[in-house]
């Protein structure tokens, strides 16, 4: 499943984040790349222990926890602290699939990369190129969203970032270890949850709500891997 999360950060929050990112100290993104990714990765990245990365990352995590669309789609058990990248001057990241697990920095805790998220922190008219291209069973998708919007997609997807030929593309990326490992099962639960919410708004007190909600939670209980 691929899903847009609109306005995860407000315009004011984006401006604050951008100011901090523009003044931060960046490093070659290849320092965090594996043996295959290093051959196709050409961007800048904030060190994971950067105070700027940690401060903005905490803000993003707070907003995620308050976002019902993300919570319904990702069913998060653990979220890797957000990371930040910068593309400019032809910067790109060729086709790759993310590692299956990442450690939370400074801990032995592993996060399985069930769900990938990219949060755009530059508006589309600020740069040329830089589209996120995702290829999966839902087809070939090109994504370039307004600053503050995020895109959620399966961590198993082949994806890339096209070269940025003008301007600068700032973004955040992170992974979610979901309660439900299967993308197909998460989609079933998401669709059911959205219908329950819609029915609740249109017909509060409808007698079918309780059994439908029970079905949702019984499926989650059956499929969850907490």
Tell me: the pLDDT tens digits for 26-41?
999 888 776 777 889 9
**Of the candidates 170, 163, 185, the residue with the CA atom closest to the CA atom of residue 114:** 185
Measure the CA angle with vertex 171, ends 60 and 168; round to 5°: 145
Q: What is the pLDDT of residue 112?
A: 98
Query: Which residue carries 């990938």 as its tokens?
Result: 116
Q: Closest Cα partner for 38 from 46, 29, 47?
A: 29
Q: What is the pLDDT of residue 139?
A: 86
Answer whether residue 198 shows pLDDT above 80: yes
Angstrom distance (rounded) from CA 177 to CA 114: 5
- How far lies 130's CA from each of 124, 149, 185, in Å? 9, 15, 31
Residue 178: the pLDDT is: 98
Model confidence at 226: pLDDT above 80: no
Please state, for a pLDDT cut of 70, what percent of the chain lies above it. Answer: 99
Backbone φ, ψ for residue 204 (5° rounding): -60, 135
Tokens 């499926």, residue? 219
Q: Which residues share a beta bridge with 128? A: 166
Which ranges in the chain are annotated with CATH 4.10.860?
Answer: 183-223
The two counts, helices (H) then strands (E), for the chain are: 5, 16
Class of the CATH domain delimited by 183-223: few secondary structures
Delimit the CATH 2.60.120.620 region(s) of the chain: 3-178
pLDDT tens per residue, range 97-150: 999 999 999 999 999 999 999 999 999 999 999 999 999 888 899 999 999 999
Band (47; pLDDT cuts 50, 70, 90): very high
The values of phi and psi at residue 19, to 5°, are -60, -45
| CATH class held by domain 3-178 | mainly beta
Whether residue 25 has pLDDT greater than 80: yes
pLDDT digits (tens, 9 = 90+) for 169-184: 999 999 999 999 999 9
Per-position DSSP letters for 123-172, written without gaps between them:
-GGGEEE--EEEEETTEEEEE---TT-EEEEETTSEEEE--EEEEEEEEE
Q: How does pLDDT run across 64-96, given as a tens digit for each residue?
A: 999 999 999 999 999 999 999 999 999 999 999
CA–CA gap between residue 88 and residue 100 (Å, rounded): 28
In this structure, how many other beta carbons lie within 10 angstroms of the beta carbon of residue 191? Answer: 12
Provide the mean pLDDT of the chain: 96
Q: How far apart are CA 83 and CA 68, in angstroms?
A: 22
């Amino acid at each position: 499943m691929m899903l847009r999360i609109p306005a995860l950060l407000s315009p004011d929050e984006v401006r604050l984040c951008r100011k901090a990112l523009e003044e931060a100290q960046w490093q070659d993104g290849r320092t965090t790349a594996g043996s295959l990714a290093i051959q196709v990765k050409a961007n800048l990245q904030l060190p994971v222990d950067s105070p700027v990365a940690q401060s903005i990352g905490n803000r993003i995590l707070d907003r995620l926890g308050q976002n019902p669309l993300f919570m319904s789609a990702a069913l998060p058990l653990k979220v890797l602290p957000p990371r930040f990248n910068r593309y400019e001057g032809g910067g790109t990241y060729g086709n790759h699939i993310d590692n299956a697990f990442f450690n939370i920095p400074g801990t032995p805790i592993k996060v399985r990369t069930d769900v990938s998220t990219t949060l755009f922190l530059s508006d589309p008219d600020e740069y040329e190129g830089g589209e996120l291209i995702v290829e999966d069973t839902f087809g070939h998708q090109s994504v370039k969203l307004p600053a503050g919007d995020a895109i959620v997609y399966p961590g198993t997807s082949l994806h890339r970032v096209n070269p940025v030929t003008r301007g600068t593309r700032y973004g955040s990326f992170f992974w979610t270890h979901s309660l439900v490992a299967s993308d197909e099962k998460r989609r079933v639960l998401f669709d059911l949850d959205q219908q329950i919410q819609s029915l609740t708004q249109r017909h509060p007190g409808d007698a079918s709500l309780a059994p439908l909600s029970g079905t949702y939670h019984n499926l989650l209980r059956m499929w969850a891997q907490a």
